[in-house]
Amino acid sequence: MTYDLILGDRAYSSWSLRIWLLFDKFNLPRKTTFVDFKKGGVPEQMPEFAPAKTVPTFRTPDGAIVGETIAIAEELASRHPDLPLWPADPKARATARALASEMHSGFATLRTDCPMNLRLAYTGVTPSEALMADLRRLEVIWDHARDTCQPDGPWLCGDYGIVDAFYAPVAARIAGYGLSVSDTAQAYVNAHLNESSFRQWHAMGLVHGDTLNRYAQPYETTSWPGPAPLAAKPIDSGSSENEFCPYSGDIVTHFLEMKGRTFGFCNAFCRDKTVADPEAWPKFMALL
């Protein structure tokens, strides 16, 4: 059962981030294609996925085309009842569904004023009253979810699931624009910034695709507030400690240097995503 999944630019497509996190966290089989936001209209780049007109979109193994994130999430949960995409407890599940639905349809000011841009982080942002209202609403519903569900870990309604994937782009916006939230809300944001699949998406977004200036905002930039990456750099050649790429298993052709050691990869993307955040990649860290 393999899904055909089509996504947008990793640095800018918040909706794509939601669904990719679910596929990655739950190891769902997929064949992934990316549209290029620089090339213009999305529908024109995916005619085989008509009538869908946005990313993400997926085609199920039996041929259904689904192009809304909430519908994709529900369809995955229906087709994979063995996976904890929604909480098993009815009360927690109802709470998670309510929060995911509000995220899907709400927070228009946060979306408009703070478009997701994983290539930049800002400082000195003064939120409007409407944006402040969105942030206070997030604090209320996140606290409500945790009070209602009493999770043991950092996630809203128990183990990581659909509701958390839906709020990952919100965490990226709060972090990337340096927005002030309550201590409990900030702890939830930090959990996303440290989560391995999110870190991988962020690293790939830094090195793949064009920088789109239309997403830039008129604020002073600063360092990304997530975990500081280990120091590594690409090099043109070297004597690699590994013969095969840790990701594909293919012969190495591209190299990086880290802590005075040289490691190889099968292509520039595999190398560059690792340089961007080595600790995000367990298969690479195993080489150390």
- Taking the chain (288 residues) in runs of 10, the rounded mean pLDDT of each run is 95 97 98 92 92 95 96 98 98 98 96 97 98 98 98 98 98 98 98 98 96 95 97 96 98 97 98 98 96
* Interatomic CA distance for residues 225 and 175, integer angstroms: 6
Q: Are residues 115 and 192 in the same domain?
A: yes
Identify whether 216 is part of a domain.
no
Question: Which helix (H) or strand (E) element contains residue 285?
Answer: helix 282-285
Query: Could you tell me the CATH number of the domain that includes residue 143?
Result: 1.20.1050.10
Range of the domain at 54: 3-79
Q: Is residue 7 part of a domain?
A: yes
Do 133 and 59 reside in the same domain of the chain? Answer: no
Quick one: 96 and 170 in the same domain? yes
CA distance 197 to 24: 7
Please tell me the distance from the alpha carbon of residue 262 to that of residue 240, in angstroms, as a whole number.
5
Residue type, 141: I
Structural domain includes residue 205: no
Domain presence at residue 48:
yes
69-79 vs 14-25: helix crossing angle, rounded to 10: 10
Answer yes or no: do 254 and 193 share one domain.
Answer: no
Does residue 215 fall inside a structural domain? no
Examine residue 258 and state whether it is found in any structural domain, yes or no: yes
- 99 and 48 assigned to the same domain: no
| Residue 180 φ then ψ, to 5° | -85, 125
Which CATH number covers residue 43? 3.40.30.10
Neighbour-count burial for 205-229, b at 16+ CB within 10 Å, e otherwise: bbbbbeeeeebeeeeeeeebebeeb
d(CA 242, CA 255) in angstroms, rounded, equals 10
Task: Give which of 162, 159, 181, 157 is closest to 171, Cα–Cα.
Answer: 181
Which position has the token pair 């961007």? 276
Measured distance CA(179)–CA(106) in Å, rounded: 18
Q: At which of 182, 200, 218 does a domain end?
A: 200
My answer on whether 16 and 94 are in the same domain is no
The reported pLDDT for the residue numbered 288 is 87
Candidates 222, 229, 235, 227; CA nearest to 263 is 235
31-59 burial, b at 16+ Cβ within 10 Å, e below that, comes to eeebbebeeeebbebbeebeebebbbbbb
As a whole number of angstroms, the distance between CA 96 and CA 87 comes to 8
Last residue of a domain, one of 79, 112, 129: 79
Q: How many domains does the chain have?
A: 3
The pTM (predicted TM-score) of the whole model is 0.96
Same domain as 184, residue 143: yes
Are 244 and 183 members of one domain?
no
- The pLDDT score that the predictor gives to residue 287 is 93
Q: Cα(42)–Cα(55) distance, rounded to whole angstroms? A: 8
The number of C-alpha atoms within 13 Å of 229 and in the hemisphere containing its C-beta is 21
pLDDT of residue 199: 98
Of 79, 106, 132, the residue at which a domain comes to its end is 79
